[in-house]
Amino acid sequence: MDITAETVAAAVSKVASARGKGTLPNVMAFGRALKQLGVKVSLSQVLDASRSAEFVDVSERGDFRALLRANLISEKEDFPVFDLLFDCFWREQSYERMPMETMDIQGTPTESQAPEGGDEEGGLEEASAESIANENVPLENLDEFSVPTYSAQELMNRKDFSEMGVEESRAIARAILLIATKIATQISRRKKISRRGQVIDPRASMRRSMKYGGEVIDLAKRKKRIKKTKVVLLCDVSGSMDCYSRFLIQFMYGLQNELWGVETFVFSTSLSRITHLIRTKNIVDALDKISGSILGWSGGTNIGRSLHTFNRNFAPSMVTHRTVVVIISDGWDRGDVSLLEKEMHDIKRRAKKIIWLNPLLASENYEPLCKGMQAALPYLDMFLSIHNVNSLVSLGRTLQKMVA
């Protein structure tokens, strides 16, 4: 969902009828509005938020904001939405009246202020709508022009995923499941008790010997567990990748929902995290959410800058020695190549493996000549094609070998 002043105002007006006197109904309405904006809020959190208002002087706006935020929000990424909603929901005028338990949405004071406030809001909406429209203009233009064409042969290859039927969809889902399990299997430091283990577990042996009156007869052994690897998926959704977009979404959705610990990002000229958007039960919902919220879909490509954002804001905490970073892109980069190279270097240092999946690699006469791709090549652990179902299956096999 695209969060603008407009959608926030809509969410507020939607829950307006639920607002009433006192803290609880208002906090509940606030929680509901948050939910509508896509933030996960549970009833117990709302009740706690309302309860905690007893301990704080709620006329201190800053404290009130802090208490609501601490109770209702549990991810830093949701802070901006929260702040927008907070400012819109607890307007200065209505806010001041709320703690006095005399707040009345339909009351005269609000009505008398309505035209003024309404105007202001209208102006804001217009402004933001305008600015968005402005931003959209170049993108729409790009839509019409910028899908780069290569050779006819390549076009044929690339049609596979764009003309995907139900059966192919299923095949893809199966292939993804296979890939997911391969990527994600690794040996853990954690041990579990096993008959075929190598190491004796003295504690468990002692425990077992109790049934024989303390004589150690049955030795318990331990072996290492299989451990899940984390995956970070960075997916190019710029114009040149347009014809794969349906497949890409399915791939991202599939991987995210097969594995825990997958973080998904899309990039074109900038980077957005969509992990929370595609964590739904239904792929159609996921599609709706994604298409609503990402600017720059089908735009130009700046891989270097996108990776820079990733390294700066996300990589320090998300990428560890057991993270596999998967980049899906054709490598057509319009940005600074030296930046791209530096950022690849940084990822390489943090991550366990970098896998680059390139849809163009399938065509026989393709060579990774474009500058972006060349800069990235030395840092890759794997450079594979991804253009149809078969390539997915073989990708699964390759990964299996790599892990084993």
Partner 1 sequence: MNPKQLTIEQVQEILLREKYVCDRSLATVVYLSLVMGKPLLLEGEAGVGKTEVAKVLAKVLGARLIRLQCYEGLDASTALYEWNYPKQMLHIKLEEIERGDKQKVETEIFTQDYLVKRPLLDAIQSEDAIPPVLLIDEIDRADMEFEAFLLEVLSDFQITIPELGTIAAKQRPYVFLTSNRTREIHDALKRRCLYHWIEYPSFEKEYEIITTKFPEVETKMAQQICAFMQKVREMNFYKRPGVAETLDWASALIALNRKQLDDKSVVETMGCVFKYREDLSHLREQVENRQFSIDALLRASPEMVS
Contacting residues toward partner 1, per CB under 8 A: 40, 42, 44-45, 48, 51-52, 55-56, 62-63, 65-67, 69-71, 73-76, 79, 188-191, 203, 206-207, 209-210, 213-214, 230, 260-261, 308, 312, 316-318, 320, 346, 349
Considering beta carbons, is residue 21 or 348 the nearer one to partner 1? 348
DSSP assignment of 223-278: EEEEEEPEEEEEEE-SGGGGGGHHHHHHHHHHHHHHSSSEEEEEESSSEEE-TTTS
Q: Could you give the angle at the alpha carbon of 388 between the alpha carbons of 387 and 393, nearest 5°?
A: 110
Question: Between 114 and 216, whose beta carbon lies closer to partner 1?
Answer: 216
**Measured from the CB of residue 282, what is the shortest distance to partner 1 in angstroms?**
18
Q: Which is nearer to partner 1, 66 or 219 (CB)?
A: 66
Compare residues 56 and 155 and give the one whose CB is closer to partner 1.
Answer: 56
Q: Which is nearer to partner 1, 55 or 145 (CB)?
A: 55
Number of H helices, E strands in the chain: 17, 9
Look-up: residue for tokens 């429209």? 133
Beta bridge partners of 233: 264, 326
Q: At 163, phi and psi to the nearest 5? A: -105, 55
CB of 227 to partner 1, least distance (A): 9
Q: What is the dihedral of CA 270, 333, 324, 286, to 10 degrees?
A: 50
Provide, rounded to whole angstroms, the least separation between the CB of residue 79 and partner 1: 7
Q: Of 38, 32, 87, nearest to 64 (Cα)?
A: 87
Least distance to partner 1, CB of residue 394, Å:
30
HSE of 119 in the Cβ direction (CA atoms, 13 Å)?
A: 4
Classified as helix, coil or strand, 200 is: strand
CB of 274 or CB of 384, closer to partner 1: 274
Q: What is residue 105's DSSP assignment?
A: T
Q: Which of 138, 61, 144, 69 is nearest to 98 (CA)?
A: 61
Least distance to partner 1, CB of residue 277, Å: 14
- Least gap, CB of 62 to partner 1 (angstroms): 6
